[in-house]
């Protein structure tokens, strides 16, 4: 067998079987049919401590993710899961509660032998918030369990609680010694924190300061689950592992980029939080700006967590300060009114339970932003997100510049549509590339055609949901998909002036454009792009 340069390659039967395939080893044994391709080496034995163990996030996402990882051999051996919450409950009662939740959410019958094996690792401790040190009992229980089983004292702490409780819980865990990496515990300690990380620059800095009173930055894992989606991870591979794209990934060839995160759902059970946050805090400060950074970042010298995060920070620092004195020229805010979704009527945002009937909270935003560096100078990025929109979709659309079509001026009656590359993140994960071809026949006519790659067409092994991926990366100690302290603060530094201008202006109501549920947002968003001679993309 010969390689592309004609050089002979040694070949054996094992090599022949791997041509065109991916082989992943788990520990010392090869991947077997129906087995796992989640890890390349054994994980450190550890205890996973879930604070807020009875809450909605734990029930819907975290425990279900842990159970699926367990089923696919993606958890360490041995391991222990300790749930801690205010509910007065026994371990047996908690196991029954979680079993029912997993059954309801998975839509499938539990494999009883899998559940019984998983449940034996699951424990529960009630937290007394009135105690001087509420987490001392949990710490003592965990140390005893780990010592009796001969397990090292490695701890993964998951804060599945509202952001208003972060500081109090961090302090409680710190006082109980959960952050310590000493001889008493005999292992590492890591803490997972869900977004939002503050509500403005000052609160984010305060939160980081309080976290660092007990935990070092390398112990902190700030989750943005969008970054764990396969298509987001593949964005870096797509850019930097293919020589045909990176040379044209710049202002010379790209006209503009649209980043969209559209949801069909309303605020649902999150109305109390959403009234305090709005779309800019809920989606732009984290998900949207993270997608922007991964789209625009420079290639790191090494594919290593801090090198990648360094390049993302450079993007945030290069964002042109938002012209707050010209808000209406660069920002459109909207709020959904009543409309039709899936053939049924849905209420306006102001009619949702828990929402003020005079609320000025935006549920939609489109912003035009610029990155002032050599690669992107002058290229507009249109960032758009909203609730109750026509389609659930998250995607990055890169539109290339028009061709200099002078050679066709005598033979073509129509304009030549520019090429477009679309990276679909969810749902129906795919990459499409649109280009022009000639219509068969004597007349010279063009037609757009699309090359379409679906991730599902090459999926091998066990597909990881976002929460499964982030938990697994935390167990591995890999920071690649997590947000660093300076990244959080740089994003807030860019967005806080916009929030201040929007929320403190005298004509705040005039900034808010109503749009019918089930549409693509207010007409003002289309007008913003039409003013630039461009068109809003709809999926």
Same domain, 108 and 240: no
| Model confidence pLDDT, tens digit, residues 259-288 | 999 999 998 888 888 888 899 998 998 889
Q: Are residues 140 and 254 in the same domain?
A: no
Asked if 38 and 126 sit in the same domain, the reply is yes
Please check whether residues 303 and 441 belong to one and the same domain. yes
Structural domain contains residue 142:
yes
Q: Which helix (H) or strand (E) holds 395?
A: strand 393-400
Residues 520 and 423 in one domain: yes
On whether residue 446 sits in a domain, the answer given is yes
Assess if residue 203 is contained within a domain.
no
- Which pLDDT band holds residue 320 (cuts at 50, 70, 90)? very high
181 and 34 fall within a common domain: yes
Structure-model confidence comparison of residues 394 and 33, the more confident one: 394
- The range of the structural domain enclosing residue 57 comes to 22-194
Q: Please write the tens of the pLDDT for every residue from 43-88.
A: 888 999 999 999 888 888 898 889 989 888 888 888 899 999 999 8
Is it the case that residue 140 has pLDDT exceeding 50? yes
Asked if residue 204 belongs to a domain, the reply is: no
Residues 201-228: pLDDT tens digits? 999 999 999 999 999 999 999 988 777 7
Task: Decide if 15 is inside a domain.
Answer: no
Q: Model confidence over 431-450: pLDDT tens digits? A: 888 887 776 766 666 767 78
Question: Of 194, 210, 239, which residue constitutes the final position of a domain?
Answer: 194
**Residue 400 and residue 294 share a domain:** yes
Question: What are the CB-based long-range contacts (under 8 Å, 24+) for 445-454?
Answer: 445/412, 445/414, 446/412, 446/414, 446/416, 446/417, 448/417, 454/428, 454/429, 454/430
Q: Specify whether 83 is located in the same domain as 38.
A: yes
Residue 268 backbone dihedrals phi, psi, to 5 degrees = 50, -125
The verdict on residue 152 lying in a domain is yes
Look up 287 and say whether it is catalytic.
Answer: yes
CATH of the domain at 66: 3.40.50.720
Please check whether residue 351 lies inside any domain of the structure.
Answer: yes
Do 314 and 373 sit in the same domain of this protein?
A: yes
DSSP string, 402-470: PP-GGGGTTT-SSPPPPPEEEEEEESS-EEEEEEEEEPSSSS--EEEEEEEEEGGGG--SPPPPHHHHH
Would you state the pLDDT for residue 460?
A: 64
Together in a domain, 231 and 190: no
Q: Are residues 39 and 180 in the same domain?
A: yes
Residue 268's CB is within 10 A of a number of other CB atoms, namely: 10
Task: Provide the whole-model pTM.
Answer: 0.84
- What's the distance, CA 345 to chain centroid? 30
CATH of the domain at 323: 3.30.360.10
Domain-ending residue, one of 194, 212, 237: 194
Q: Does the residue 335 lie in any domain?
A: yes
Are 402 and 264 in a shared domain?
A: yes
Q: Which of 287, 454, 513, 531 is catalytic?
A: 287
Distance CA 427, CA 88 (A): 39
CA dihedral 429, 267, 492, 368 (to 10 degrees): 60
Q: Residue 535 above 80 pLDDT?
A: yes
Total domains in the fold of the chain: 2
């Amino acid at each position: 067998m010969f390689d592309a340069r004609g050089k002979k390659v040694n070949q054996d039967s094992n090599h022949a079987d791997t041509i065109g395939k991916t082989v992943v080893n788990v520990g010392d044994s090869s991947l077997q049919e129906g087995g796992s391709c989640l890890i390349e080496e054994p994980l450190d034995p550890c205890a996973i401590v879930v604070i807020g163990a009875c809450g909605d996030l734990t029930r819907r996402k975290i425990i279900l993710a842990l159970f699926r990882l367990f089923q696919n051999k993606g958890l360490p051996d041995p391991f222990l899961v300790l749930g801690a919450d205010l509910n007065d409950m026994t371990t047996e009662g908690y196991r029954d509660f979680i079993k029912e939740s997993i059954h309801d959410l998975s839509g499938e019958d539990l494999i009883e032998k899998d559940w019984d094996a998983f449940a034996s690792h699951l424990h529960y401790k009630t937290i007394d918030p009135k105690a001087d040190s509420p987490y001392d009992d949990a710490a003592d229980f965990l140390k005893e369990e780990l010592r009796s089983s001969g397990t090292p004292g490695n701890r993964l702490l998951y804060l599945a609680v509202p952001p208003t409780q972060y500081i109090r819980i961090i302090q409680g865990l710190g006082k109980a010694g959960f952050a310590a990496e000493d001889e008493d515990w005999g292992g590492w300690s890591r803490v997972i924190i869900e977004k939002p990380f503050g509500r403005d620059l000052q609160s984010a800095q305060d939160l980081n300061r309080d976290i660092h009173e007990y935990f070092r930055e390398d112990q902190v894992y700030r989750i943005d689950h969008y970054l764990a989606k396969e298509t987001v991870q593949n964005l870096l591979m797509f850019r930097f592992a293919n020589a045909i794209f990176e040379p044209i990934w710049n202002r010379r060839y790209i006209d503009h980029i649209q980043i969209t995160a559209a949801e069909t759902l309303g605020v649902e059970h999150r109305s109390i939080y959403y009234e305090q946050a709005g779309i800019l805090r809920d989606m732009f400060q984290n998900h949207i700006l993270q997608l922007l950074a991964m789209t625009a970042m420079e290639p790191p010298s090494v594919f290593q967590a801090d090198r990648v995060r360094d390049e993302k920070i450079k993007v945030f620092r290069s964002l042109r300060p938002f012209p707050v004195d010209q808000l209406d020229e660069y920002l459109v805010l909207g709020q959904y009114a009543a409309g039709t979704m899936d053939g049924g009527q849905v209420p306006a945002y102001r009619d949702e339970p828990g929402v003020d009937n005079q609320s000025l909270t935006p549920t939609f935003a489109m912003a035009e932003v610029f990155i002032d560096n050599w690669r992107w100078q002058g290229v507009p990025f249109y960032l758009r997100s909203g609730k109750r929109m026509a389609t659930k979709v998250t995607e990055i659309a890169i539109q290339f510049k028009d061709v200099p079509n002078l050679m066709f001026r005598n033979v073509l009656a129509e304009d030549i549509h520019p090429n477009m590359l679309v990276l679909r993140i969810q749902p129906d994960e795919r990459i499409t590339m649109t280009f022009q071809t000639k219509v068969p026949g004597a007349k010279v006519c063009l037609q757009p055609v699309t090359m379409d790659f679906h991730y599902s067409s090459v999926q091998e092994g066990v597909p990881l949901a976002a929460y499964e991926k982030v938990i697994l990366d935390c167990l591995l100690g890999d920071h690649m998909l997590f947000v660093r302290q300076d990244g959080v603060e740089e994003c807030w530094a860019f967005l806080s002036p916009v929030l201040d201008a929007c929320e403190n202006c005298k004509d705040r109501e005039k900034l808010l454009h109503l749009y019918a549920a089930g549409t693509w947002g207010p007409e003002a968003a289309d007008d913003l792009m039409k003013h630039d001679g461009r068109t809003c993309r709809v999926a």
